[in-house]
């Protein structure tokens, strides 16, 4: 069990640029989640996949955000035309689908800074 | 909607002191309740959980009891250590939310030697 891996750890970009983050879940986990965490706040749900299907999206996920999980393994989160308000820690988590009580395993996150 | 409210931080204690971090929730139905911990520079880790009323979750000396009558899930530890310094998040998951968690805002704990 190598845990949930996220890349990069840090990303600094200029406003208006596009950025893409990658998440590799624990290998046998078929559920994958993206959360966003701003300073001093708890994580906020963005979206979740079961295998390759994106089953739920938060209202926080504006049209500039898109997430994919094409083969049901790793996932990418792209933000287009970044804004300073997008600066946050982006967390990925994965879990097994054992009812609704399977714990989420989080990665260390990607910290995005938009200048 | 669903929400989680934690006591305001930061909390600063001396080693071996008693810890309580309050957590109350608002949710329909019978959610599952969790405490996650985030050590500096690391991702969130599940600390403990409780899935039904009166359940007590425990791990690493920490405990929390699911109190439906007061909609609370307070975190306690009898004797904290410097290594417990971290941010603690209370969270809930509804029965039908597909593992989606709703988190509180987090409580920063600092334990001094």
pLDDT digits (tens, 9 = 90+) for B50-82: 999 999 999 999 999 999 999 999 999 999 999
- Which neighbouring-strand residues pair with B13? B111
- Which neighbouring-strand residues pair with B80? none
Tens of pLDDT, residue by residue over A5-19, are: 999 999 999 999 999
> Does residue A35 surpass a pLDDT of 60?
yes
Which residues of chain B have a CB within 8 Å of the CB of A105? 46
> Does residue B39 surpass a pLDDT of 60?
yes
Please state, in angstroms and rounded to a whole number, the distance separating the CA atoms of residues B39 and B83: 9
The shortest CB-CB distance from B101 to any of A41, A104, A105 is to A104
Nearest CA in chain B to A38: B105
Contact A45 B95 (CB under 8 A): no
Please say whether the beta carbons of A13 and A113 come within 8 A. yes
Q: What is the DSSP letter of B61?
A: T
Tens of pLDDT, residue by residue over A40-91, are: 889 999 999 999 999 989 888 889 999 999 988 999 999 999 999 999 999 9
pLDDT value at residue B9: 82
Nearest CA in chain B to A109: B43
Contact B98 A42 (CB under 8 A): no
pLDDT value at residue B63: 98
């Amino acid at each position: 069990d190598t845990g949930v891996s996220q890349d990069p750890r840090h990303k600094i970009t200029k406003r208006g640029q596009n950025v893409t983050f990658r998440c590799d879940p624990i290998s046998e986990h078929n559920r994958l989640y993206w959360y966003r965490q701003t300073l001093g706040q708890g994580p906020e749900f963005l979206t979740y996949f079961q295998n390759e299907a994106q089953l739920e999206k938060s209202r926080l996920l504006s049209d500039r955000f898109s997430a994919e999980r094409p083969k049901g393994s790793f996932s990418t989160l792209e933000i287009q035309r970044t804004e300073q308000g997008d600066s946050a820690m982006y967390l990925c988590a994965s879990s097994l689908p054992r009812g609704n009580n399977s714990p989420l395993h989080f990665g260390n996150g990607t910290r995005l800074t938009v200048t | 909607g669903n929400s989680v409210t934690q006591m305001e931080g930061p909390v600063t204690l001396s080693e071996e002191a008693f810890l309580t971090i309050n957590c109350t929730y608002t949710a329909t139905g019978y959610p599952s309740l969790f405490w996650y911990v985030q050590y500096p520079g690391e991702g969130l880790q599940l600390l403990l959980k409780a899935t039904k009323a009166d359940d007590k979750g425990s791990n690493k000396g920490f405990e929390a009891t699911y109190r439906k009558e007061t909609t609370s899930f307070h975190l306690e530890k009898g004797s904290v250590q410097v290594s417990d310094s971290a941010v603690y998040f209370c969270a809930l998951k509804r029965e039908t939310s597909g593992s989606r968690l709703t988190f509180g805002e987090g409580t920063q704990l600092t334990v001094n030697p």
